[in-house]
Amino acid sequence: MFELLITMMERLGIIVTIAFILTRFKFFRDMIYQEELKGKQQILAIIFFGFFGIIGTYTGLSLDTESQQFNRWTADLSSDEAIANSRVIGAVLGGLLGGYRVGIGAGLIAGLHRFTLGGFTAVACGLATIIAGFISGMFYRKNKHVKLESAFLIGVLAESIQMLVILLIARPFEKALTLVEIIGVPMIVANGLGSALFLLIIKSMINEEEKAGAVQAQKTLRIADQTLAYLRGGLTHASANAVCHIIHKELQTTAVAMTNLTEILAHVGQGSDHHRPESSIQTQITLDAIKQGKIVIGNQHSIQCRVGACPLGAVVIAPLKQRGKTIGTLKFYYRTEKEITNVVIELITGLSSMMSNQLELADVDKTYQLAKEAEIKALQAQISPHFLFNTLNTIVSLVRIDPAKARKVLISLSHYLRQNLNVTTQSMTLLEQELNHVKAYLSIEETRFANRLEVVYDIEQNALKQNIPPLTLQPLVENSIKHGFKNKETNCIIKISIKKNDHVTSIVIEDNGEGMSQERVEQIGQPNLQSEKGSGLALYNVNRRLTMMFSSQSALKIKSKPGEGTEISFSISNYEGAM
């Protein structure tokens, strides 16, 4: 019995070797990674594991129950012979990895083949193989890995059932009993170990794939993290040079280069003495990669280097794309073509795709910033000094009766208009400059209101170095005068408060004008507001610019009650608006 066990273990070496070879095939790897086998894949799995069961039969030992002698290899059997084999391993693994359908299918193939070989256990062994596939399929769990000990125990169980089926079906019973006494324990142990070994090979294959994938993903993510800041500026000589240095350091290639559609932007590594940036693309293979928009692999002849001793013996050229159009290439140089493995090509494919996405995101971000700046300038341009004509009329009337006051109003008007013109080229200004602009405006309004208007300032000087969008305060003050004091003849008071604490700078503009209802307050700041009192465009523009440049936390907050006045406030983080 012990000698048979040793021999069976030796035959398992053949089974393991064949299993290792079979697991190298792509279809097997694809099959293993599927969550659930369907259709064609299920048929392939049944054939695969059924074929493996047949191999297990042929690598077994035939036993003559009369002489109790073993033959080294299995062929056609006489009526007194049976086989000590590893056939159930195929059915067991098929059921565990593919479910009961694959297990039964593999068991049918291996079992029917066993039946054709003859011998007094032909029917029993054929039936037992099918039962083994069914039982192992019952232990199949979708999306869960099979443990080695489970494979061993199920292999033991399947072979034990085969021994029981032989005793129940095979005749004469004396021969069946003798057979089980001789081969029972060795086959149960060997097939349990064989199932576990086969599964171990599969797990090793999966771990190998996952490890390679993890290393590749880690490199890609590390490169992505380091190159993102440079590629935000687009594909330039500076960004290309920085990216090539990063990739060359991470991947340890012979050299790395980047081009646009016409010239070499950067070349880092060997050959940099004659593969120089800012020179025209010289090789046809690079132009082919640009034209085709696909990865191209070339040898030393394809590189067409003019220097005979050039160390660059092979190249992989990957296109860089924006919005589906090729805008340049990423080139990886190696000493020989042997260094360009499938793993290397997959890594380069992933890198070129990732960098194309980075360039596209940089382009989108640039477009967004340009659109944002254009919208801000458009909003600023909409804020025009509509009171200009009223002010000029005031000046005209003062020229004769009070020339000095007319001169003062003219100076204030010039300061006001100059600030309006300057801010069309600015996205931010100091709060101090914005306050001076408001003071120039209010100086004009105080003259027009002729002792009806009083302005109160409550200003913390350390808050005036804060950055703020230009033409933010003046529309708010103008709104108070235009709407709050429209029907008020005396005691028109505006208070402007600017305070700074540890975290934010707060600006509050209060008036004691007419005020408004809560319903009206909720409508203020909305686009396309139409009413007899105005469109609300000025407040909408201010609110829009504040939220665009800072965040929703800086949005306008309005409090008002009819007959009591209105308070408009907003705050800016000291970190966001600091100079």
Same domain, 438 and 399: yes
Residue 54, in any domain of the structure: yes
Q: Are residues 246 and 185 in the same domain?
A: no
Tokens of 205: 């294959």
% of the chain exceeding 70 in pLDDT: 89
Q: What residue numbers bound the domain in which 58 lies?
A: 2-209
Q: What is the CATH number of the domain that holds 158?
A: 1.10.1760.20
Same domain, 543 and 453: yes
- Asked if residue 190 is part of any domain, the answer here is yes
Instruction: Give the residue carrying structure tokens 């391993």.
Output: 89
202 and 280 together in one domain:
no
How confident is the model over 229-233, as a mean pLDDT?
Answer: 82
What is the rounded distance in angstroms from the CA atom of residue 94 to the CA atom of residue 31?
11
pLDDT in tens, 394-423: 788 788 888 888 888 888 888 877 777 666
Determine what percent of the chain is predicted with pLDDT higher than 90. 30
Question: Does residue 491 sit within a domain?
Answer: yes
Mean pLDDT of 282-293: 88
| Residues 300 and 339 sit within 8 Å (Cβ to Cβ) | no
Q: Which of 336, 353, 370 is the last residue of a domain?
A: 353
- Weakest mean pLDDT among 303-307, 515-519, 556-560: 303-307
With respect to residue 315, please indicate whether it lies within any of the assigned structural domains.
yes
Confidence at residue 499, expressed as pLDDT on a 0 to 100 scale: 93
Task: Assign 374 a pLDDT band (cuts: 50, 70, 90).
Answer: low
β-bridge partners, 497 = 458, 508
Q: Assess contact for 139 and 93: CB atoms under 8 A.
A: no
Please name the residues in contact with 18: beta carbons below 8 A apart, sequence gap of 6 or more.
52, 55
Distance CA 339, CA 158 (A): 47
Give the integer Cα–Cα distance in Å for 397 and 374: 40
CATH of the domain at 418: 3.30.565.10
What is the pLDDT averaged over residues 381-391? 61
Strand partners, 63: 70, 82
Q: Are residues 394 and 264 in the same domain?
A: no
pLDDT at position 470, please? Answer: 84
- My answer on whether 249 and 346 are in the same domain is yes
pLDDT for position 370: 65
Task: Report pLDDT for 383.
Answer: 45
Would the pLDDT of 532 be above 90?
no
Going by their DSSP bridges, the two strands 504-511 and 492-500 should be labelled as antiparallel
Within a domain: 364? no
Q: Pick the last residue of a domain from 332, 353, 374.
A: 353
Q: Is the pLDDT of residue 528 over 90?
A: no
pLDDT digits over 259-273, tens only?
999 999 999 999 888
Q: Which own/partner contact pairs does 67-72 have at CB distance under 8 Å and 24+ positions apart?
A: 68/178, 68/182, 70/4, 70/7
Q: Any idea what the CATH number is for the domain that residue 300 is in?
A: 3.30.450.40
d(CA 50, CA 88): 10
Strand ranges of the sheet holding 296-299, from the earlier edge strand across to the other edge: 264-269, 255-259, 325-334, 314-322, 296-299
C-beta separation of 129 from 111 below 8 A? yes
Query: Shortest CA distance to 15 belongs to which of 83, 92, 89, 103?
Result: 89
Tokens 């020179």 identify what position?
Answer: 279
Residue 527 is assigned to a structural domain of this protein? yes
- Note whether residue 361 is domain-resident: no
Number of folded domains in the chain? 3
Backbone angles phi, psi at 66, to 5 degrees: -75, -50
Q: Which secondary-structure segment (H or E) carries 81?
A: strand 81-84
pLDDT digits (tens, 9 = 90+) for 233-268: 788 899 999 999 999 998 888 999 999 999 999 999
Is the confidence at residue 320, as pLDDT, over 90?
yes
Residue 503 within a domain: yes
Model's pTM, two decimal places?
Answer: 0.48
